[in-house]
């Protein structure tokens, strides 16, 4: 994988004419967020709602509140467009891990088709 990412929403289908207003809403909702650090220190296994894809993730122990706030704002934008919000409880299982990851959050990105939109955090 070329770069690490953390999903703040599930994949959704945007109609072409929704892309610009969707991105504008995201930009407005995320404009007040500041940069922050998060620490991930436990491996977890996730599956999508259809049980067709499995993801290995890291549980966040520091920065958890900030990430939940970001997900909440993204969910609000999704709701405005009548799209499904983030997964609720999708953990199938987990195992202990000595792995520790520390990330500084500087931007949020939105990918729509082959277009990327970036929202820098203050």
- Which residue shows structure tokens 């934008």? 77
pLDDT at 93: 44
CATH number of the domain to which 84 belongs: 3.90.1140.10
Average pLDDT, the chain: 83
CA distances from 4 to 22, 23, 79, 95 (A): 24, 22, 27, 21
Band of the pLDDT at 100, cuts 50, 70, 90? Answer: low
Query: For residue range 47-88, what is the model confidence (pLDDT) as tens digits?
Result: 777 888 787 777 788 888 998 899 999 999 999 999 999 866
Q: Which residues pair with 92 in a beta bridge?
A: none
- Asked, for residue 80, whether it belongs to a domain, the answer is yes
Distance CA 14, CA 21 (A): 11
pLDDT at 91: 45
Band of the pLDDT at 92, cuts 50, 70, 90? Answer: very low
Number of domains in the chain: 1
Band of the pLDDT at 95, cuts 50, 70, 90? Answer: very low
- Which residue shows structure tokens 């894809």? 53
- Asked, for residue 3, whether it belongs to a domain, the answer is no
Q: Which domain holds residue 35?
A: 16-115
- Asked, for residue 104, whether it belongs to a domain, the answer is yes
Helix (H) or strand (E) holding 33: none
Q: What single DSSP character describes residue 18?
A: G
- Asked, for residue 94, whether it belongs to a domain, the answer is yes
Band of the pLDDT at 35, cuts 50, 70, 90? Answer: very high
The two structure tokens encoding residue 95: 């195992």
- Asked, for residue 26, whether it belongs to a domain, the answer is yes
Beta carbons of 85 and 79 less than 8 angstroms apart: yes
- Asked, for residue 83, whether it belongs to a domain, the answer is yes
């Amino acid at each position: 994988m070329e770069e690490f990412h953390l999903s703040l929403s599930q994949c959704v289908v945007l109609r072409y004419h929704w892309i610009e207003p969707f991105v504008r809403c995201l930009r407005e909702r995320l404009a007040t967020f500041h940069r922050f650090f998060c620490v991930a220190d436990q491996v977890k296994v996730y599956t999508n709602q259809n049980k067709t894809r499995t993801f290995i993730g890291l549980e966040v122990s520091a920065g958890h509140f900030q990430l939940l706030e970001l997900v909440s704002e993204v969910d609000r934008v999704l709701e405005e467009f009548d799209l499904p919000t983030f997964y609720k409880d999708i953990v199938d299982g987990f195992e202990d891990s000595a792995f520790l990851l520390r990330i500084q959050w500087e931007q949020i990105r939105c990918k729509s088709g082959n277009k990327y939109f970036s929202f820098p955090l203050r």
